[in-house]
Amino acid sequence: MLRTNRELWFAFFAAVMITGIYLLIVYLTRAIPPAGELFGHSLGILGFLLILMTETLYSLRKRSRVARWGKMSAWLQFHIFTGLVGPYMVLLHTSWKFNGLAGITTLLTVVIVFSGFIGRYIYTRIPRTMDGLEIQNALSEEALRQARRLMSLWHTVHIPIGMALFVAAFVHMGAALYYATFLK
């Protein structure tokens, strides 16, 4: 159950710390960190790992009938936190260049994060118990049904864009490895 904005505050503070480190590197080197060097690669790799965790761990917990590791509300907060911090790190990894497939991947990342904010808003409109179960109330039955329809529609957009993002990201990483490493 999302009753607080704790995950948003944690993501904000993490982004502030990452920005501080990024600006320190910019100050020390007098240049924007290139995506292909150690710091840029580190941002991209860590950001992508967070994005990968965003999708896989939350989805596994959500769909698992056997393993019940923690409350779904905590997993959703984790999903939101990593879904904000990971893409932010990937954005910094770009060195503010948005060409070709890397640019398309960045665009998909921005779209999926924006879509995530919309999904979070819709999710919070559905009344729930402290365990995250929907409250069945005769007075609000139509509102619950409408929110569920919106959530279903949102899923039909959010999930395919996320899949396209992962395909583009894996192709980008494969091309980066091929051209930057294997051809040298």
**Domain that residue 80 falls in:** 6-182
* Residue 96 vs residue 146, higher pLDDT: 96
**Is residue 136 a part of any domain in this protein?**
yes
**Is residue 174 a part of any domain in this protein?**
yes
Cα–Cα distance, 5 to 148 (Å, whole number): 22
pLDDT value at 91 more than 60:
yes
**Is residue 82 a part of any domain in this protein?**
yes
Query: Are 124 and 142 spatial neighbours (Cβ–Cβ below 8 Å)?
Result: no
**Is residue 33 a part of any domain in this protein?**
yes
Closest C-alpha among 62, 68, 77, 69 to residue 4: 77
Number of domains in the chain: 1
Instruction: Give per-residue pLDDT as tens, 26-58.
Output: 999 999 988 778 898 889 889 989 988 887 887
**Is residue 1 a part of any domain in this protein?**
no
What pLDDT, on a 0 to 100 scale, did the predictor assign at position 4? 66
**Is residue 109 a part of any domain in this protein?**
yes
Q: What's the whole-number mean pLDDT along residues 139-146?
A: 67
Q: pLDDT-based confidence at 109, cuts 50/70/90?
A: confident
What pLDDT, on a 0 to 100 scale, did the predictor assign at position 1? 44
Cα–Cα distance, 107 to 15 (Å, whole number): 19
